[in-house]
Amino acid sequence: MVRIDFNRLRFLVIDDNAHMRRIIRTLLHGFGAREVYEAEDGAAGLDAFTHHMPDIVLTDWAMPIFDGLELTQMIRQPGANANPFAPIIMLTGHTEKQRVTAARDAGITEFLAKPISAKALYQRIVNVVANPRSFVKTKTYFGPDRRRGVNPNYIGPERRKGGKSDIIRQHSLLDKAKALA
């Protein structure tokens, strides 16, 4: 199992519920994180994202001003901010299939249903740190590859259709967060 030194990572927690922000902050501190920034809505979240340049964003879906999907789309705009590649983990109680698909299509890296557990949150963070997804850029989408496995010989009905896409390989946060043994 991969060991991560959480104190080397910066987190941004965006949720309009102060109690939920406190729970997530407490869990992150319990994992060893030192830099945990918070915002209470999408607009404050975008401002905090540009100011603190977090390594990982954890956001709620339903928030005032603009929601987690709108925030993700703003972060994912190439050239609009310093790091459109930052992993974004959506924490939400809205888990219907069409919502999960909408989150994926907006550029969410990982999805986690509320109520969250410490183990599930830890696993999502380890996954975005140790196994970063390549990014795909097409005319209509920029974000993490929506497919977890890549098989260049696949010819079935789920094969990508449409125009050319650029694949942008991501560097792992593991070097930054590797625990010293």
- DSSP class of residue 76 equals T
- Summarize pLDDT for 25-52 with one digit per residue, the tens: 999 999 999 999 999 999 999 999 999 9
35 vs 52: CA distance, rounded Å: 10
Report pLDDT for 139: 82
Cα separation, 109 vs 87, in Å, equals 6
Tell me if 31 sits within 8 A of 179, measured CB to CB.
no
Identify the structural domains of the chain with CATH numbers, from first to last: 6-177 (3.40.50.2300)
CA distance linking residue 42 with residue 70, whole number of Å: 8
Whole-structure pTM value: 0.84
Of all residues in the chain, the percent with pLDDT exceeding 90 is 60
* Chain-centre distance for alpha carbon 83: 12
d(CA 93, CA 114): 5
Among 73-77, 100-104, 161-165, the least confident range: 161-165
Distance CA 65, CA 60 (A): 13
